[in-house]
Chain A
Amino acid sequence: MSTAFNPADVQGNILRGYRKPRVRYLMLEVTEPAAARRWLTASLSGGGVPQITTEEPWETKPDTCFNIGLTYQGLQALGLPAASLASFPTEFIEGMSKRAVKLGDAGPSAPENWDKPFNQPARIHLIASIYADDVARLDSLQRAVISEKWGLKLLEPARDGCCFNADYVHFNYADNISQPKFAEIHGTDSYQDWDSQPMAPLGTVLLGYPTNFEGLTWRVPQPEALGHNGSFNAFRVLEQDVVGFEEYLTSAADKLLVHGDADKLLPPGDEAKIGEGLSRRDALREVVAANMCGRWRNGVPLALSPDTPNPASPVSKTNFDYDAKSRCPYGAHIRRCNPRGAQIVQRVANHSRRLVRRGMPYGPAYVYDPSKPRDPNEPNRGLLGNFIGANLGAQFEAMSCDWLNLGLQDPRVTGSNDPLLGANEPATSWFDLPLPSGEPIRLRGLPRFVTTKGGAYTFLPSISAIKYLGSMSG
């Protein structure tokens, strides 16, 4: 097995973000295997279908990008032999909907409540993602992807994501800040200034390379041409209750206004540090929002700037860690999902569950107006997220079940869920705001702000794998 890295063999949406303003996901069913296999071959060699974007460096950014992921049912439908199918990991074979409880997809997030077409997971064979600057291009690319002669049927509706305010996402946080970096892609120069976390080995996202665990290798689906340089993706449609979130911040701020210890959280007179002209109530709202995420809404990490989103001397947004005195809450979203070098219960797990995240919001921007009552016809908003890693079980699932929910990594948060993404129930949920003394103020009654509306585990095949699949007979 060669461990030399060949970017031309890897799909381009794994190791870099295209930063196109629009994306569309097409959930496709293979209706004629032979035609669909010809389509796969054509996606690499011209012939009237969009060409797969690879990791090869480009001089000018292409107008459109195109990538694919295959579900287990998709591999089956294409005619992959049983022995090869059996070489895929259990969680991928079972699929996202079967792993629901592990992922916190229960109650309103349970697969039986998922939207079309995710309510029929077995029919989703292939998820094609197309990236472009405008809807017209997306439409023309979509027409090129799907046609009867290629044996692919679109399972309506397609899902569109769209940047509405640079790197800001719903709930109004700056996103797109931190990602694992790889020596083979990003080089090692100046990495130390970028991040104090160790550089991620390529095996974090690609199959066939050393992993985050010394001496441990993940099974590469067989044959080698199929598995090597592939990756796995947890595609998620995550609906965000933007109104509920802002309302919760207000109710939390109202409770803090009359809380005996709130002056320790935000000394009176410090409101302007949070934002110019903010009332005490609005400043407290921002303090709560920052603590829940672990970053102020402008992306500044609490770990480096616990008292203000606008520190006098600028701080890095990526180069930080959590020491024993860190004022970033143990339960804050970014700390739960990646505790970096913090003391955690599973000592061997630091840095081991990292993911590449590629997401784009859907739905129009939302501007909170406390004077307006909740509009019952509020449009749907959320995130189309891709959580990519070489091993879904060791990364995405491990992070989701033990850390994001349950909070096993730190006894001070065990039994609570992630304040932003967790499967929270107002009757039992809680979140601790740390005070400088270390003693927390406990917030309660957090509802579920994010509901899963669909998703699928997909295999992101390498270019060699797409060739291999296209050339299968039978």
Chain B
Amino acid sequence: MDGASNRANDGASDGGRLDRLVDWLPTTPLFKFIAARILVPIWAWRTPVKRLEGGPRPSVQPGDNVQRMMNLVMPLKDKSAVGRALAALAIAQNKDEIYAGLDNVGTVHFARFVIVADNICMFSVYDGDFTNYIRDFIVTIGSVFDAVVGLVEGGDKVIPSAERVDEFIDWVHDHDLFQVSDVATDILRDQEAVNGDTGAGNDDLRKLPRQLILQLNVNRNVSLGSGYRAYPGYSAAQVRQQFGVGW
């Protein structure tokens, strides 16, 4: 891939016939097949890539520590309409507890439950540290978590959450989607960090597509960016205070 793009640059002045050929080749079914089915597995085999951790990037900026995104994608054990209905029921039955939880935890802006294919997804926007957020929820409405997580593959070993707080938090964190940075060099930095490479960063952007593809090869579901806000970051309590609805 690096070589191909080099050649395209080198050939920029030769009238463009070679350019067009090189640009056209990857659009052909044969090349697509070779890239996805042969080239990527070979890359992945030659360069094992660790799965990057889910959740927002650590930051000391206050604005980065409010309105953070959690994107849980959890595969249901029962992959049938009945299984999906059970998940829907688990949420509906606990609606009041969920509101009570939001009220008492105090750091959550929104929480949404979505079924996508055979996954129950929980997307939320929260303030502060992830583990505190989950721990406070376990304290408040752990039973709701238990009802949902009990329907998910691998969930049985971390419930009841109140008795397995540490394991539960780790498990949820493990299901939180990696948030692909929208800054190209950060993607390279993330990849270096997960490989324990603390040397000077290599900002060769030609590496970017390869790094991204290899990461997406081990991380099938990701969040693109960390959520986009229409206004600067405020905590849920700041919003409530400003609107005079109590916090």
Contact = CB atoms under 8 A, between A and B. Distances in A.
B237 interface: yes
A348 B139 contact: yes
A213 interface: yes
Looking at chain A's contact residues, the main secondary structure is loop
A407 B129 CA distance: 12
Contact of A406 (B65, B104, B169): B65
A218 B92 CA distance: 30
B235 A411 contact: yes
A215 B241 CA distance: 32
6 contacts: A213-B139, A345-B237, A346-B132, A347-B106, A401-B132, A423-B60
A101 B130 CA distance: 13
Contacts of B235: 345, 408, 411, 414
Interface residues on B, range: 35 or more
Contacts of B60: 101, 104, 106-107, 405, 423
A415 B62 contact: yes
A397 interface: yes
A118 to B, nearest CB: 16
A247 to B, nearest CB: 24
Given A215-B162, A346-B136, A349-B136, 15 more contacts: A104-B60, A216-B162, A217-B162, A218-B166, A219-B164, A345-B107, A345-B235, A402-B129, A406-B62, A406-B65, A411-B238, A412-B241, A414-B235, A415-B62, A423-B60
Interface residues on A, range: 35 or more
Nearest to A401: B129
Interface string A188-222: 00000000000000000000000001011111000
Given A101-B60, A345-B107, A423-B60, A402 B166 contact: no
Contact of B58 (A102, A394, A411): A102
Contacts of A410: 237
B159 to A, nearest CB: 13
B131 to A, nearest CB: 5
Contacts of B237: 345, 408, 410-411, 414
B167 A348 contact: no
A348 B247 CA distance: 13
Contacts, number: 104
A345 B247 contact: yes
A398 B129 contact: yes
Contacts of B104: 347-348
Given A216-B139, A347-B104, A414-B62, A90 B166 contact: yes
Ranked nearest first, the 4 interchain pairs of A and B with the lowest CB-CB distance are A101-B58, A345-B106, A411-B237, A411-B238
B83 interface: no
A402 B170 contact: no
A393 interface: yes
Nearest to B59: A101
Contacts of B166: 89-90, 218-219, 391, 393
Contacts of B59: 101
B151 interface: no
Contacts of B240: 411
Interface in B59-89: 59-60, 62-63, 65-66
Between A411, A412, A423, the greatest number of chain B beta carbons within 10 A of the residue's beta carbon is seen for A411
B146 interface: no
A348 B62 contact: no
Contacts of A344: 106
A219 B131 contact: no
Given A90-B170, A346-B107, A406 B139 contact: no
A346 B106 contact: yes
Given A216-B165, A217-B163, A345-B247, A393 B106 contact: no
B176 interface: no
Given A90-B170, A219-B165, A345-B107, A393 B131 contact: yes
A398 B132 contact: yes
B129 A397 contact: yes
A417 to B, nearest CB: 8
Nearest to A352: B139
Interface string B189-212: 000000000000000000000000
Contacts of B234: 414
Contacts of B236: 345
A309 to B, nearest CB: 32
Contacts of A107: 60
B140 interface: yes
A232 to B, nearest CB: 12
A472 B238 CA distance: 54
